[in-house]
Structures are given as structure tokens and as C-alpha cells.
A and B are shown apart, each in its own frame.
Chain A
Amino acid sequence: MSMKLPKQTPATALSRFALALSLAIGCTTAAEAAEKVLRIGMTAGDIPRTLGQPDQGYEGNRFTGITLYDSLTQWDLSSGDKASVLIPGLAESWSVDPADQTKWIFKLRPDVTFHDGSPFNADAVVWNVDKVLNKDAPQYDPSQIGVTASRMPTLRSARKVDELTVELTTSEPDSFLPYNLTNLFMASPSHWQAKADALPASVADPAARSQQAWAAFAADSSGTGPFKQARFVPRERLEIVANTDYWDAKRRPQIDRVVLLPLPEASARTAALMSGQVDWIEAPAPDSIDAIKARGYKLYSNLQPHLWPWQFSLLPESPFHDKQVRQAANLCVNREELKALLSGQMEPATGVVEPGDPWRGNPSFQVRYDVAAGQKLMQAAGYSASKPAKVKVQTSASGSGQMQPLPMNEYIQQNLRDCYFDVEFDVLEWNTLYSSWRLGAKDPAAHGADATNVSAAVMDPFFAMIRFVSSKALPPVSNNWGYYIDEKTDALVEKARTTFDEQARNEALGELHANIVDEAPFLFVAHDVGPRALSAKIGNVVQPRSWFIDIATMTLD
């Protein structure tokens, strides 16, 4: 049976062409509209490095670390109600050798592949350890060791046992190693090698070859993470797309594409959100929060492992050498009013970690607002309204994690006046303050200060406590800026570091923390809450008690 078609005139041909064109455009538009694209305005001034060891602090790990890569161990980001804990990542299990506690065995997850299709195995782990610890390895990269080696202070080497088993060695028994390993992201050795092989032979110097291969790798990276790198415009945008073959089915992304934009200026970020250019901004300008909410955006925040303190100098000439003075200062700051000053964007600090945290312990000294008790302690230490304790505090006008240092410090200055403190500030540029932190209170860079106001990430036991209070961490080794030296504290540090059972280690860390609160080497002021504003169309948002957030489990309407 045949069907006779009507004769085609130029007019009908044109109208059919127009119809076909409009259908094609319609289909294309529908396909584009079907792609779920999430646009995020970061506070970073540049795209955090994409080669596996991000810079830009923990914001770097948040956006180009845990999205593109995995580590052997990782943080559980699935709950906003309890402290984030360590869970298996690319390692399914791990244990320390009872006969030699400097040796760890990590059992690797099978059937994991990098984005380029090459397998993840023990060789890949050894290769990634060597990239930052083995100077003779071709992939050794000085630009990555700073942000990595300092976060794994005791790791020394890795050895393949079999295809899915690797042995890691530390310089001393160190139960914190699994925490440290969240900072070592696994990049694809095969993909890096392909980049290195593509370099011209004229690049003969091994260091130059490594640097150029890593630069090429950064532009087109390959990890095992839930997202894959798709498009990279240096200093402007990074586009990552869903890895539909991700090994963890629960974390296979439901958003097709994420666009990361560096917007370092708070008002620019806020304007970008309000004008619809982005769907999510980190740290909105505090005075625009009401306007943001009024436009229907959702504001998320939660207690972060962050501490905004004054770290006291315990040198003999400092008034804070006296424990009573340190405790008095802690009793004289009205943290709730300070929170109101910051439009609610902080949590009052009563220690390094707060009640409910497995490392909290039971301090006998309760950090609270009690001016009468503070005055009493100051009088016992020999101070009064007519004879105030003169203290100098170093701070900065701005800086990463510093929140709003000047108004916060001025508020504290007013508070402490009620308890016979005469506070003077030495305001430095942020990088100067940060760089001199390691030099300690005795260094000329401290300008004779009695305290320094450098905020800190307090994610794992070493960074939360030990680097501030261990006598092995005195300047210039680490951040015991104030020369806090105490035998009992050192013993508690040693006990926690050599306790390999998780429950027992948490108890040991609780004892250490209680001791720190009682001794008060800090003025505990605030914890950041990591505020971020998101479009209401983003669903399944869990803001954990962490520096990180899991984009992979989010949805987009």
C-alpha cells in the first residue's frame, strides 16, 4: 500500500524546515534544561588546586578534595546532629601491628577505578604516599608536601603487601594516623604517567618534568571521587560532573554538574546569589542575611570544628602565667551577647570541643559568664580596678577563619575591663600574624604580646589539642605559641597517642581535653558555624559538624 504525499511547494518546504528547526532547538533546550546544574560561590579567591592535594585550607578540601578524590579514611558527613567521626573510605579496614605499633595494615576496597579507568590498588597507595614523602620518586612534588606532610607528621613510608593490602610505617607509635590520612587524596598514577609521557623530551630536569606533569594533571585530573573534572578555567570556574560509576552507590551524585566559582568578596557573593547567578554561597555577608531569607533562600549553619581563641603566653612576664588570671578571663566574656553581635553566626566556646563530643571529657572548671567569680580570681592574683593586669594581644583585621576579629576583640576588651584587665591590641596583617604563629611568644615577631588571636581548625586530635599543649610542639616545631609546658598534659598526650582502641582513645582524649579546659591555656571564645545560603531548590542538604559538606547526596529540583 502506498501513500501519496502532497506536492511540496517552497512555502511548505520552508514551514517544514522551520518546524524541524524549532523542534531541534526545543529538544536541545529541553536536554540542556534536563541537566541539573548547581552553581556555587566559594569564598576562595582562586579555584582550589585540583591535582589531589588542594590548597585554600579546608575550603579547598571541601570543593576539590572530597568531590574529585577519596582518601583511605574519610569523615562521616551524613549527620548534622552529632560530631563527625572517621569512617572507611578507600580502605575497608585498618589495624596496627601489635608487635610493632609503628606499622599499620590497611585493607583496600576492591573494584574501585580511577576516572581514567585504571584500577585503584596497593601500588596506587604507595605511589600517592611517595608523591609527598619520597624525594627520589618521579612524581615527587614539593608544591604538595606543605599541605600534606604537615597534616601527617608521623607517616614515613608505604609498602605494598599484596594487590589490596598496604603497610604504612610511622616514625613513632601514633594512633592518630587514620585521622591524618583523610588529608591524603588518591590521584591516578596511570593518568599522571600519561601526562608525563606527553611532555617534550626537551624537558629533561626531573623536577621540571614532575612540575609540568602535575600542572597538566591539574588541568585534567583523575581521582576516584563522586565527581569528575569536566572544565577548568584558572581563577574563574571549575565544572565537575557526576561520576555515575562511583563505588559507593549511596553517594552517586544526583546532580549532573557542579560549577564552582571563586567569589572572595562577601558582598559580591551575596549579589551573585540575589541576582540568580549562583544557587549557593559560602559565608554570606552577615548584614544581608535577612534580605537573603526574605528572597526565599535557606540559611544553613552548624557547629564547626573550629576555635576562635586567644592563645595565652605562659612566659613568666605574662599576667597569663598565673592560672587564676587565665580562668578569670574565661569567666568574664559574655559569649551570648557576642553571638548576638554576630547576628547569631557563632557558637559560644566552652572548650576546644563542646558537650556531646567524644573528646569532651569532664572538666572541673566550667567556662561561663560570671563576672563576680572572675573578679574574685583576679583579686586573689593581686589585681584590682586600680591595679589592672596590662595585657597585649596580637590579632589581625581579617583573615581565614578569623570571623570578624576587630569588633569581636573590641567587645572582649570591654568585657575584660570589668575584671581588671587593661587590654591593648597589636593588629597585624593576617599573613604576618599567621606566619609568626609558629615562632612563638618569645620571638621578636610577637612584639611582647601576652596572647595571640589566631583561629584554628580543630578536626583531629593533633590539630585540636596536641599541637597547642605538647612540650614537643614548642616553637618553632609547631603551634605551642605560649610555651605551655606541663608534665601531666604531656603524659595524657602520650597516653592518647599510644591507645589504639577507639573507645579507650576517646576516653584518653577526654581526659586530655578536661585537663586543657582546667588549665585554660586559651581564652575560649567562639566556634564558627560555617554559614551558607542555598536556593530552596537544593534538597537533601545535611550540614554536618564539620568543615566539609557532601554535595554528592544532594538533589536539585
Chain B
Amino acid sequence: MIGYLLRRLGYALPIMLGVSFLCFMLVYLAPGDPLVSILPADASAELQKQMMQLYGFDRPLIEQFVRWLWRALQGDLGHSIATSRPVVDEVFKAVGNTLMIAVLATLIGFTLGALFGFVAGYFRNSWGDRLASFVSVIGVSLPNYWLGMVLVIVFSAQLMWLPATGAGPGGSGSWTWDWEHVQYLILPALTMSFIPMGIVARTVRALVADILSQEFVVGLRARGLGEWGVFKHVVKNCAPTALAVMGLQLGYLLGGSILIETVFSWPGTGFLLNQAIFQRDLPLLQGTILVLALFFVALNLLVDVLQTIFDPRIERG
């Protein structure tokens, strides 16, 4: 197991280096001026040149990358051009905020998705299957920003039951786990849970249907195992793939949904990325993408390890 873990870590390192190189370079492909947030278009060319020198954007890209990587390895992702605040502080605060809705959305999505998937898989071609499949198709098909807007119109603007925007009455800086704050989580997390719910439901349905048709299930039943016992075997066989799907979904959600977080003004990674993109705030953009990509790599690693625990054949393979 330890050897497997070390081998997987060994694979992850070049991936992380490649990711850091790509995320540094890709932002330069986008058109526009990296100083647009602090330098109006009516600023003189002389002033622009002076600013490019002051911020080091006049140096060769490779030199900029090496400097950036060296600082990043020491935990310094630089300072935001637009705000002068340290990128590390901005990113980790946003990651914490996104983590709250992403974990809640994953819990909702996975629970409902697994429920619908099992119902649909166990009772194939019944009305229960059709209903569960319909709900899961809706989950993956509805544009989530549209759903978010509809939920806001109904539950905030019309019924006035839940707040429309923000991360608590005093902002995320004063977050506590009480109803006054938690009510701000409900609409964004619910909106965010729809896609993972649909994907997990479809995956679990297919897995359950496949497992139930396998000979070992017939064998189990022939040996007189009760339905509950068979169900436990089905769950155990489903788990590795379902976990992998859920891990990927959590990874996607940790990246934050730019649209959902913008609709709800939720100060997470999606909202931060949106601002960084619109302001061409390159250090913030590079830092945010890097941290998210590393989270994704780490999460994949974790899922691989969990899969191995559930199914030791994967390690042997």
C-alpha cells in the first residue's frame, strides 16, 4: 500500500509542475493589458511603459515563470495587481468559502443521486425508474445559473424566505454555524447540487443494473441470501466507481461555479476567478488556478487511495 502511495505521489509531482507551467503561461495567451485594472486606457504610453517595468511584465516570460515558481514553492503567490493584497490570503479565504457550499452540495447531490440511482437500477422500467431518471436528466440538463436565478426569484424576491446574496449578514469574515448564517448557504448549495445529483444518479443506475445482471448475484440469491444481503454486495461493488465520480464532482465544485457564485455573490473561488479574469489580474488568476489545480490533483490521489481500500484489485493492477 505504501509503495502504491509513493508511486502515485511520484506521478503527481510532474503533473503539478506541468499544471503550474500551463496555468502561468495560459493567461498570457488571453488578449488585453495585464495592467488594465490600475491603468486606464487614456493613460499615456510612457506611463504604461513605466508601469510594465515596475511590475516586471517587461521581462522574458521564462524569467517571470521561474521567479513566480520559486516564490510559489515558498508559499508566496505574489500580490494582486488590483488590490495589492497577498494572493495566498485571497485564494485560501475563497477556497474556504467555496468548500462550505461545495461540500454541502456534494452531500445533497450524492445522497439524492445515490437514492435515485438505486431506485432506478433496482426497479428498472418501473414508474419509479422513469421518475428517478427524469429527475437525473433534469439535473444534468438545466443550466444551473438559470436555476439559481429562478430559486432567488421564488424564495428571496417573492416569498422572502431566504436571503438572495452574500455569505452571511456580516460577510464570511464573521461566519458562525447558526440559522442566521446557514440560511445563506441553502440556495447556492441547492443550485450547485443539481448537476452532481444527476451525474451520480445516472452512474449508480447503470452500475446497479449491471451488477444485478451478473452471475454472482444469481449465485448469492441461490444460496439463500436475503435481499438486504444482496443489496450490501451491490453497494460494495458500486462504491469504487461511485466514489471516483463523486470525487471528480467535488473537485469540479471546489473550483467553484463562476456563474452560481456570481448569481449569489458568494465570495468563493468562482467569484474570485470571475473578478481576476475581468480585471486581468494575472497574479491572482495564476495563483487561483494553481491552487485549484493542485486541489484537483490531490483529490484525485485521495480518490485513488480510497478506491484501492474498497477494491484491493486496483492496487494489484
**Would B278 and A431 count as touching, CB distance under 8 A?**
yes
A476/B90 contact (C-beta < 8 A), A55-B82, A263-B265, A429-B32 known: no
Contact segment of B17-25, B164-172, B305-313:
B164-172
142-193 of chain B: CB within 8 A of chain A: 149, 152-153, 156-157, 160, 163-167, 170-173
A103 to B166, CA, bound (A): 50
A271 to B272, CA, bound (A): 21
**Would A146 and B43 count as touching, CB distance under 8 A?**
yes
A202 to B163, CA, bound (A): 45
**Would A268 and B41 count as touching, CB distance under 8 A?**
no
0 or 1 for each of A137-178: is its CB under 8 Å from B? (1 = yes): 000001111110111010000000000000000000000000
A267/B37 contact (C-beta < 8 A), A233-B173, A274-B157 known: no
0 or 1 for each of B260-276: is its CB under 8 Å from A? (1 = yes): 00111101000110110
Q: At the interface, yes or no: B253 with Cβ under 8 Å from chain A?
A: no
**Would A429 and B31 count as touching, CB distance under 8 A?**
yes
With CB as the reference atom, state the residue of chain B lying closest to A45: B275
A215/B85 contact (C-beta < 8 A), A150-B44, A235-B271, A268-B265 known: yes
Give every chain B residue within 8 A of A538 (Cβ-Cβ). none
Q: At the interface, yes or no: B29 with Cβ under 8 Å from chain A?
A: no
0 or 1 for each of A425-452: is its CB under 8 Å from B? (1 = yes): 0000101101101100000000000000
A146/B278 contact (C-beta < 8 A), A478-B42, A479-B42 known: no
With CB as the reference atom, state the residue of chain B lying closest to A235: B267
Give every chain A residue within 8 A of B131 (Cβ-Cβ). none
Q: At the interface, yes or no: B216 with Cβ under 8 Å from chain A?
A: no
0 or 1 for each of A264-286: is its CB under 8 Å from B? (1 = yes): 11011011101111000000000
Q: At the interface, yes or no: A46 with Cβ under 8 Å from chain B?
A: yes
Q: Please give the distance in Å from A106's CB to the nearest CB on chain B.
A: 24
Q: At the interface, yes or no: B214 with Cβ under 8 Å from chain A?
A: no
A270 to B149, CA, bound (A): 11
Q: At the interface, yes or no: A211 with Cβ under 8 Å from chain B?
A: yes
A45 to B270, CA, bound (A): 12
Q: At the interface, yes or no: B84 with Cβ under 8 Å from chain A?
A: yes
**Would A264 and B84 count as touching, CB distance under 8 A?**
no
Q: At the interface, yes or no: B47 with Cβ under 8 Å from chain A?
A: yes
**Would B43 and A149 count as touching, CB distance under 8 A?**
yes
Give every chain A residue within 8 A of B126 (Cβ-Cβ). none
Give every chain A residue within 8 A of B163 (Cβ-Cβ). 275, 277
**Would B278 and A435 count as touching, CB distance under 8 A?**
no
**Would A277 and B164 count as touching, CB distance under 8 A?**
yes
Give every chain B residue within 8 A of A145 (Cβ-Cβ). 47, 51
Give every chain B residue within 8 A of A437 (Cβ-Cβ). 41
A45 to B37, CA, bound (A): 12
**Would A146 and B40 count as touching, CB distance under 8 A?**
yes
A146 to B81, CA, bound (A): 11
**Would B160 and A275 count as touching, CB distance under 8 A?**
yes
Q: Please give the distance in Å from B96's CB to the nearest CB on chain A.
A: 13
Q: At the interface, yes or no: B54 with Cβ under 8 Å from chain A?
A: yes
Q: At the interface, yes or no: B39 with Cβ under 8 Å from chain A?
A: yes
Q: Please give the distance in Å from B268's CB to the nearest CB on chain A.
A: 10
Q: At the interface, yes or no: A214 with Cβ under 8 Å from chain B?
A: yes
Give every chain B residue within 8 A of A228 (Cβ-Cβ). none
With CB as the reference atom, state the residue of chain A lying closest to B271: A235
**Would B84 and A235 count as touching, CB distance under 8 A?**
no
A211 to B51, CA, bound (A): 15
Give every chain B residue within 8 A of A46 (Cβ-Cβ). 82-83, 275, 279
Give every chain B residue within 8 A of A143 (Cβ-Cβ). 38, 81, 84
Task: Work out how many contacts link A and B, with CB atoms closer than 8 A.
Answer: 155
A144 to B81, CA, bound (A): 11
A45/B172 contact (C-beta < 8 A), A149-B43, A236-B166, A272-B164 known: no
**Would B173 and A236 count as touching, CB distance under 8 A?**
yes
A454 to B41, CA, bound (A): 10
**Would A142 and B32 count as touching, CB distance under 8 A?**
no
The range of chain B's interface size is 35 or more
A478 to B44, CA, bound (A): 6
Q: At the interface, yes or no: A467 with Cβ under 8 Å from chain B?
A: yes
Q: Please give the distance in Å from A525's CB to the nearest CB on chain B.
A: 19
Give every chain B residue within 8 A of A476 (Cβ-Cβ). 44-45, 48
A408 to B230, CA, bound (A): 64
A477 to B47, CA, bound (A): 10
Give every chain A residue within 8 A of B45 (Cβ-Cβ). 438, 476-477
A143 to B283, CA, bound (A): 14
Q: At the interface, yes or no: A237 with Cβ under 8 Å from chain B?
A: yes
**Would A275 and B278 count as touching, CB distance under 8 A?**
no
A268/B171 contact (C-beta < 8 A), A146-B40, A150-B47, A479-B41 known: no
**Would A49 and B83 count as touching, CB distance under 8 A?**
yes
A429 to B38, CA, bound (A): 18
Most buried by B among A49, A264, A271: A271
A211 to B54, CA, bound (A): 12
A275/B156 contact (C-beta < 8 A), A215-B85, A264-B262 known: yes
Q: Please give the distance in Å from A443's CB to the nearest CB on chain B.
A: 12
A268/B31 contact (C-beta < 8 A), A153-B44, A276-B160 known: no
0 or 1 for each of A17-46: is its CB under 8 Å from B? (1 = yes): 000000000000000000000000000011
89-106 of chain B: CB within 8 A of chain A: 90, 93
A462 to B54, CA, bound (A): 27
Q: Please give the distance in Å from B95's CB to the nearest CB on chain A.
A: 13
With CB as the reference atom, state the residue of chain A lying closest to B31: A432
Q: Please give the distance in Å from B269's CB to the nearest CB on chain A.
A: 12
A262/B265 contact (C-beta < 8 A), A150-B40, A215-B84 known: yes
A146/B33 contact (C-beta < 8 A), A236-B267, A272-B164 known: no
**Would A267 and B265 count as touching, CB distance under 8 A?**
no
A211/B82 contact (C-beta < 8 A), A147-B40, A267-B149, A432-B32 known: no
Q: At the interface, yes or no: B205 with Cβ under 8 Å from chain A?
A: no
Q: Which residues of A contact B (CB under 8 A)?
A: 45-46, 49, 55, 142-147, 149-151, 153, 211, 214-215, 218, 233-237, 261-265, 267-268, 270-272, 274-277, 429, 431-432, 434-435, 437-438, 454, 463, 467, 476-479
Q: Could you list 19 further interchain pairs (A-B, Cβ under 8 angstroms) beyond the known A431-B278, A438-B42? A: A45-B278, A55-B82, A147-B38, A264-B274, A271-B152, A271-B164, A274-B156, A274-B157, A274-B164, A275-B156, A275-B157, A277-B163, A277-B166, A431-B31, A432-B32, A438-B41, A467-B42, A476-B45, A477-B45
Contact sample, A vs B, 17 pairs, CB 8 Å cutoff: A45-B278, A49-B83, A144-B38, A235-B272, A236-B172, A236-B267, A265-B262, A267-B263, A268-B265, A270-B157, A271-B149, A271-B164, A272-B165, A277-B164, A277-B166, A431-B31, A478-B42
